[in-house]
Structure 1
Amino acid sequence: MTSSKPVYDESKIKSLSSLEHIRLRPGMYIGRLGDGSHAEDGIYILIKEVVDNAIDEFIMGHGQRIEIDTDAEGRVSIRDYGRGIPLGKVVECVSRINTGAKYNDDVFQFSVGLNGVGTKAVNALSDNFTVRSVREGKFKEAFFEHGVLKRERDGASDEENGTFVSFEVDREVFPNGVRIKEEFLRKRIQYYSYLNKGLTLKLNGETFYSRRGLKDLLVAEVGDEVLYEPIYYRDKSIEFAFSHTTSYGENFFSFVNGQYTNDGGTHLSAFREAILKAINVYSKKSFQGQDVRDGIAGCIAVKVKDPVFESQTKNKLSNTDIRQGIINTVKTVIVDFLHKNEELAKKILDKVTFNEKIRKELQAVKKEAREKARKVAIKIPGLRDCKYHFGDRSKHGDKSQIFLTEGQSALGSMVSCRSAETQALFALRGKPLNVFGLKKDALYKNAELYNIMKALDIEDTLENLRYNQVILATDADVDGLHIRNLLITFFLHYFEELVTHGHLYILETPLYRVRNKKETHYCYTDGERDKALAKLKDPELTRFKGLGEISPKEFGAFMGDDMRLVQVTVDHHADIKTTLRFYMGNNTPERKTYIMDNLI
């Protein structure tokens, strides 16, 4: 009798080329693949990698403009007017790992690109890829397919110096193709313009340019909400701006070498600490951090010679050696500024003192809320928790999700088909309170909203958030949509940062089931329903009125790999209050008129 166990010997060991490794494990280089419907999908990372190289040229003083052109089907062209890749190294620089000038400190001191990996990843993951470099009247051009060089050409050129890259993603790697959403790119390009004063960027003909750097970013994001003219500073390695607003919480935008660090890192924590220290030094008091930072909006950009990030997609900076330098610089600048601008300093201290007063007034309300919660149950009512949480050192932490769902019937469908390791459930009881315009004490006087806050652990800071994705799972009827709007209002009003940092989502569930004895189709729109009805012979149509009508067996598909999520995004912070005031405020006649005029 022979053994059926596989043999483990030398023949099982594989050595992959860099090209093969990128194509086999694309997620290691660009994160999620996706089809372009999410702002973090791979197509936007690929575009970013090429643009980053062009930005690096500008940072080093070469080239004042960058042109980006895309089409909906996924074709991308990027042209910079920097020095151009040295003609003899054009092919190597876009195809051979660990080849590039970013290892040479004389050429690139503050690089944002992936140090010789970025453009290679774009090339390897493209169906076709073209690179052309122009230097001093000559050009070199190379054409690739699936990362493999197909042909080259060179000669004389009357074009301006610079580099042109054009690519189309590989359908083998992106089986569903991609559809580029210009609004996702526009935000990135706007950030690039704020971070690089004097650089002109064009996206499909639209021009982006900034004269005041991060001060322009802050004004664009918070608009008229600022309580005083933003404090602004810039030198060769650090740039920052901040002001206070009338909103709750704190909102920061942080960047390293031009890269937006959505999850912050050591540069952001140092910036926050420096603001606190500066105000305490100036005022000769000992304000608490939450009193100084509540309502603050700020931006910081640093240039780091050897940045270390927690992930390949560079969302969080890990360098600890830069911390004290940032604290010293920011503190010194702010203290000096406050001494020279006493009227502005008074506005800051008035805001901080007001925050302190409100916090102390809330202490009694908080204590009462906690005592009530303790009497009701040791555990948070309505919460079915999961094993792993966001921020855990476990690899499963980033996958953690909590579904906020209405009623026990929907909970029953979801509880038996969820992943108990990474998916938590919270059952709402009826419609939440409309909190727009209410003070923070309302949060502590309403048991349901208080329990949501405690379940997420965001009472004091977003840094304690227990779930990476907070998912609103409500019925697709009028009541369900109303509950969804009330929850979005709750988060935007009290915990705006949770939304702006990309943690809030809406679960899409099917409206219809079309099936016969052989096939079943779940349809999310009337159009999908009509196609399914036309496709099947003798179809049976079911209209789902609520989540509770969907059986646990069926619901498993909608919470698993085929789950459809829509991220709740904010274009500009300044729009939040205006939008909430219109939809959730007391302007009933105005809102009624709008609905009647736009009713289809």
Structure 2
Amino acid sequence: MVNENNGRIYTAEEIQVLTGLEPVRKRPGMYIGSTGERGLHQLVYEVVDNSVDEALAGVCDTIKVWIDKDNSITVEDNGSGIPVEIHPQTGKSTVETVLTILHAGGKFNNSAYKVSGGLHGVGVSVVNALSEWLIVKVKRNGKEYMQKFKRGVPVTELEIIGEADSTGTTISFKPDKEIFDVVEFDYKTLEFRFREMAFLNKGILIILEDRRTNTKNKFHYEGGIKSFVEYMNKNKNPIHKDIIYFEGEKDNTVVELSMQYTDSYSENIYTFANNINTQEGGTHLSGFRTALTRAINDYGRKYNYLKEKDENLQGEDVREGLTAILSVKLFEPQFEGQTKTKLGNNEVRGIVESLVYDYLTTYLEENPKSGKVILEKAINAARAREAARKAREISRKRSILDSITLPGKLADCQEDNVELTEVFIVEGDSAGGSAKQGRDRKYQAVLPLRGKIMNVEKARIDKMLESEEIKAMIAAFGTGIGNEFDVEKLRYGKIIIMTDADVDGSHIRTLLLTFFYRYMRKLLENGNIYIAQPPLYKVTKGKTEHYVYSDKELDELLEKIGRSNYTIQRYKGLGEMNPEQLWETTMDPEKRILLKVSIEDAMAADEIFTTLMGDRVRPRREFIRKNAKMVKNLDI
């Protein structure tokens, strides 16, 4: 770690005050991104980030987080404790200063923290401002102190409540329901983030407890990001046994890399800067990609895997099947964008490229068996890429849609404005016919597919492009795929998966979502993909018809209309509905129910798709066993 503290406890003078707190409650989205689930959980991350910063400074090794039964959160660490002395600028205790003034904290002063992961631009003061109540307890100087706040305003002074033989900070808070759309924390969301944090900071212990359900987990990984890659690949098939790992430092920037190739066809590279998940990449990712491509090409040339007449391998070739974690820790990270998901420090690109190239060159020289399988995989990926290029060229010369032999072709809409258009992907002639007749032709298109599409998790791009159904979708959407993917060319603002409410329909949805995730991920990230919700039942009583979308809704309806003199029709397929019914229940924007598909966490999504659609049976069986109790509408 880059750390000038050497375990030294920071002081009140090192806490620098930048601005006030007043705007936070008026515009909370500016500070935490949203007032939905993402913003709600960001409150927890902000508090925990402060504790992790203490760990980076060498004064904390254990962080406890628990959700209480009232949906409040407590975060406890054994760090040095927030200073309690009077702050020279504010005239108030440093505890109160940190909790009531925006951007007041040790990480804004260079002498307190050399590396800070929690510098999200907001901090614990924003958590205080957006909480119904907050209580802070500090153990420091042999005493325990406490102060209480309500919606960011102190309701007590900082007072001594007892003696203490250790140090640390405990913050408890309850999000304000006047601010947030939802105030119930999701254990799985927190679990994933804290596992990630423990991987990124080897040796730290994070304990997460849910007192609502008596669930508890401990996250502690001495192997750090090496253990992270091992965890990510647990349901995959590595092509070399060892996990490639190194840690290096240059110009006060620490670079840590862990990577391993598998026999899959997709790349999974995750980058972090000061523990922050840089989902949009940045200069550290650019440096890594350049170094990886150059090192493998140089090795291939030197040992004749690549002949003189062969072209160099491209970046996508050398990254096929790669799982990698790249973590950099630097003094003053510069992030692009409000949500801080792209690293912008230009000097980091050269640092990462230099360190990674030197290490990978040495690794390949010292591990010729691994070098051989890595080169062979990259060369096979290059051949597949070339085959796919030729297939696309052929497709451009003749309209793909004209060459499709499906019984039903794309029924396009009249509107050209992408923001207004939508395309329904349906399976089969019957449903396709009803959808075409029932739709609003002005802005709704219909693309029928024949049966289940190819499982792209088990196929390279060249084989995938032999599928008529997949070619039809690519042509209809207009975006292209892979390196040629361009979201600006998307022809429809909404792509709606409309399948039967049975097991086969669920399988088709999963296959389609796997395709979108692996080859058109930007559509998921942008919120262009939706799942239609056709009714499960039609309940008729007299001349009145009711469409019902869940078993719970059915029970509620039957209680309301009386449990006699009615008939229930269970819809197993969209084809059972005539065009008018399909429009009224599933396609009419005024009445329908659509579920937007989004990626809150790419690593969690990758794990699910690998488990469900990959080659290994045992992880899939275990996944089904664990989640069977959540299955609804199972056809048997």
Report the Cα distance in structure 2 between the residues aligned to 1:417 and 1:523, rounded to whole angstroms: 28
- Per-residue deviation, residues 80-134 of structure 1 (Å, max 9, x unmatched): 1111111131011011112111111111122222466221221111111111221
User: Which amino acid counterpart does residue 52 of structure 1 have in structure 2?
Assistant: D
**Post-superposition shift, 1:433?**
2.5
**Post-superposition shift, 1:55?**
0.7
Among 596, 602, 608, the residue aligned to 1:565: 596
**Post-superposition shift, 1:575?**
6.1
Report the Cα distance in structure 1 between the residues aligned to 2:39 and 2:232, rounded to whole angstroms: 26
Report the Cα distance in structure 1 between the residues aligned to 2:50 and 2:173, rounded to whole angstroms: 15
Report the Cα distance in structure 2 between the residues aligned to 1:481 and 1:375, rounded to whole angstroms: 26
Report the Cα distance in structure 1 between the residues aligned to 2:276 and 2:40, rounded to whole angstroms: 17
Match of 1:171 in 2: 177
Q: Is the alpha carbon distance of 1:63 and 1:582 closer, same or farther for their aligned partners in structure 2, counting shifts above 3 Å?
A: same
The answer to whether the 8 A contact 2:531-2:594 is kept is no
The answer to whether the 8 A contact 1:230-1:241 is kept is yes
Q: Is the alpha carbon distance of 1:408 and 1:521 closer, same or farther for their aligned partners in structure 2, counting shifts above 3 Å?
A: same
**Post-superposition shift, 1:402?**
7.2
Q: 3-state DSSP class of the match of 1:329?
A: helix
- Per-residue deviation, residues 549-598 of structure 1 (Å, max 9, x unmatched): 35469832567xx854355777485664553268999x99xx9xx99xx9
Among 137, 144, 162, the residue aligned to 2:142: 137
Q: Is the alpha carbon distance of 1:115 and 1:349 closer, same or farther for their aligned partners in structure 2, counting shifts above 3 Å?
A: closer
**Post-superposition shift, 1:319?**
3.0
Match of 1:336 in 2: 362
Among 196, 205, 224, the residue aligned to 1:200: 205
Match of 2:88 in 1: none
User: Which amino acid counterpart does residue 497 of structure 2 have in structure 1?
Assistant: L
Report the Cα distance in structure 2 between the residues aligned to 1:474 and 1:121, rounded to whole angstroms: 44
Report the Cα distance in structure 1 between the residues aligned to 2:96 and 2:567, rounded to whole angstroms: 57
Match of 2:9 in 1: none
Q: 3-state DSSP class of the match of 1:529?
A: helix
Match of 1:370 in 2: 396
Report the Cα distance in structure 2 between the residues aligned to 1:362 and 1:255, rounded to whole angstroms: 32
**Post-superposition shift, 1:18?**
5.2
Report the Cα distance in structure 2 between the residues aligned to 1:521 and 1:62, rounded to whole angstroms: 63
Q: Is the alpha carbon distance of 1:581 and 1:270 closer, same or farther for their aligned partners in structure 2, counting shifts above 3 Å?
A: closer
Q: Is the alpha carbon distance of 1:62 and 1:264 closer, same or farther for their aligned partners in structure 2, counting shifts above 3 Å?
A: same
- Aligned pairs for 1:200-279 (under 5 A) are 200-204=205-209, 205-223=216-234, 224-228=236-240, 229-236=242-249, 237-279=254-296
**Is the counterpart of residue 100 in structure 1 residue 112 in structure 2?**
no
Q: Is the alpha carbon distance of 1:469 and 1:202 closer, same or farther for their aligned partners in structure 2, counting shifts above 3 Å?
A: farther
**Is the counterpart of residue 316 in structure 1 residue 342 in structure 2?**
yes
Report the Cα distance in structure 2 between the residues aligned to 1:550 and 1:375, rounded to whole angstroms: 26
Q: Is the alpha carbon distance of 1:506 and 1:160 closer, same or farther for their aligned partners in structure 2, counting shifts above 3 Å?
A: farther
Match of 1:579 in 2: 612
The answer to whether the 8 A contact 1:90-1:140 is kept is no
**Post-superposition shift, 1:294?**
1.5
Q: Is the alpha carbon distance of 1:24 and 1:214 closer, same or farther for their aligned partners in structure 2, counting shifts above 3 Å?
A: same
Q: Is the alpha carbon distance of 1:68 and 1:349 closer, same or farther for their aligned partners in structure 2, counting shifts above 3 Å?
A: same
Q: Is the alpha carbon distance of 1:528 and 1:248 closer, same or farther for their aligned partners in structure 2, counting shifts above 3 Å?
A: same
The number of aligned residues is: 550
What residue ranges of structure 2 are gaps of 5+ in the alignment? 1-18, 85-92, 210-215, 307-311, 404-408, 629-633
User: Which amino acid counterpart does residue 263 of structure 1 have in structure 2?
Assistant: E
Q: 3-state DSSP class of the match of 1:368?
A: helix
- Aligned pairs for 1:99-138 (under 5 A) are 99-114=104-119, 117-138=122-143
The answer to whether the 8 A contact 1:137-1:159 is kept is yes
- Aligned pairs for 1:512-531 (under 5 A) are 524-531=549-556
- Per-residue deviation, residues 423-471 of structure 1 (Å, max 9, x unmatched): x966333434343645543422223212334527352249745579865
Q: Is the alpha carbon distance of 1:508 and 1:182 closer, same or farther for their aligned partners in structure 2, counting shifts above 3 Å?
A: farther
Among 442, 459, 467, the residue aligned to 1:446: 467
**Post-superposition shift, 1:66?**
0.4
Of 118-127 and 437-446, the range deviating more from structure 2: 437-446
**Post-superposition shift, 1:45?**
0.9
The answer to whether the 8 A contact 1:93-1:116 is kept is no
User: Which amino acid counterpart does residue 174 of structure 1 have in structure 2?
Assistant: F
Report the Cα distance in structure 2 between the residues aligned to 1:558 and 1:233, rounded to whole angstroms: 56
Match of 1:83 in 2: 80
The answer to whether the 8 A contact 1:507-1:565 is kept is no
Length-normalised TM-score, structure 1: 0.79
Q: Percent identity?
A: 29
User: Which amino acid counterpart does residue 295 of structure 1 have in structure 2?
Assistant: G
The answer to whether the 8 A contact 1:257-1:301 is kept is yes
Report the Cα distance in structure 1 between the residues aligned to 2:331 and 2:597, rounded to whole angstroms: 37
- Per-residue deviation, residues 482-529 of structure 1 (Å, max 9, x unmatched): 43133235446x54967997976644455468999xx99985322123
Report the Cα distance in structure 2 between the residues aligned to 1:91 and 1:512, rounded to whole angstroms: 57
Report the Cα distance in structure 2 between the residues aligned to 1:78 and 1:507, rounded to whole angstroms: 40
Report the Cα distance in structure 2 between the residues aligned to 1:109 and 1:463, rounded to whole angstroms: 40
Report the Cα distance in structure 1 between the residues aligned to 2:336 and 2:396, rounded to whole angstroms: 36
The answer to whether the 8 A contact 1:257-1:302 is kept is yes
Q: 3-state DSSP class of the match of 2:588?
A: helix
Match of 1:296 in 2: 322
Of 536-545 and 466-475, the range deviating more from structure 2: 536-545
User: Which amino acid counterpart does residue 166 of structure 1 have in structure 2?
Assistant: S
Report the Cα distance in structure 2 between the residues aligned to 1:321 and 1:412, rounded to whole angstroms: 59
Q: 3-state DSSP class of the match of 2:51?
A: helix
Of 524-533 and 403-412, the range deviating more from structure 2: 403-412
The answer to whether the 8 A contact 2:435-2:446 is kept is no
Report the Cα distance in structure 1 between the residues aligned to 2:69 and 2:440, rounded to whole angstroms: 39
**Post-superposition shift, 1:51?**
0.8
The answer to whether the 8 A contact 2:425-2:449 is kept is no
Report the Cα distance in structure 2 between the residues aligned to 1:528 and 1:578, rounded to whole angstroms: 32
Report the Cα distance in structure 1 between the residues aligned to 2:266 and 2:198, rounded to whole angstroms: 27
Match of 1:44 in 2: 41
Q: 3-state DSSP class of the match of 1:220?
A: helix
Match of 1:157 in 2: 163
Q: Is the alpha carbon distance of 1:154 and 1:73 closer, same or farther for their aligned partners in structure 2, counting shifts above 3 Å?
A: closer
What residue ranges of structure 1 are gaps of 5+ in the alignment? 1-16, 390-398, 419-423
Report the Cα distance in structure 1 between the residues aligned to 2:78 and 2:607, rounded to whole angstroms: 34
**Is the counterpart of residue 181 in structure 1 residue 186 in structure 2?**
yes
User: Which amino acid counterpart does residue 344 of structure 2 have in structure 1?
Assistant: S
Of 495-504 and 101-110, the range deviating more from structure 2: 495-504
Report the Cα distance in structure 2 between the residues aligned to 1:515 and 1:314, rounded to whole angstroms: 53
Q: 3-state DSSP class of the match of 1:151?
A: coil
Q: 3-state DSSP class of the match of 1:106?
A: coil
**Post-superposition shift, 1:251?**
0.9
Length-normalised TM-score, structure 2: 0.75
CA RMSD, Structure 1 to Structure 2 (Å)? 4.1
Match of 2:479 in 1: 457
**Post-superposition shift, 1:276?**
0.4
Report the Cα distance in structure 2 between the residues aligned to 1:169 and 1:576, rounded to whole angstroms: 33
User: Which amino acid counterpart does residue 71 of structure 2 have in structure 1?
Assistant: G
Of 73-82 and 354-363, the range deviating more from structure 2: 354-363
Report the Cα distance in structure 2 between the residues aligned to 1:410 and 1:320, rounded to whole angstroms: 52
The answer to whether the 8 A contact 1:81-1:162 is kept is yes
The answer to whether the 8 A contact 1:509-1:564 is kept is no
Of 544-553 and 107-116, the range deviating more from structure 2: 544-553
Q: 3-state DSSP class of the match of 1:108?
A: coil
Q: Is the alpha carbon distance of 1:183 and 1:402 closer, same or farther for their aligned partners in structure 2, counting shifts above 3 Å?
A: farther
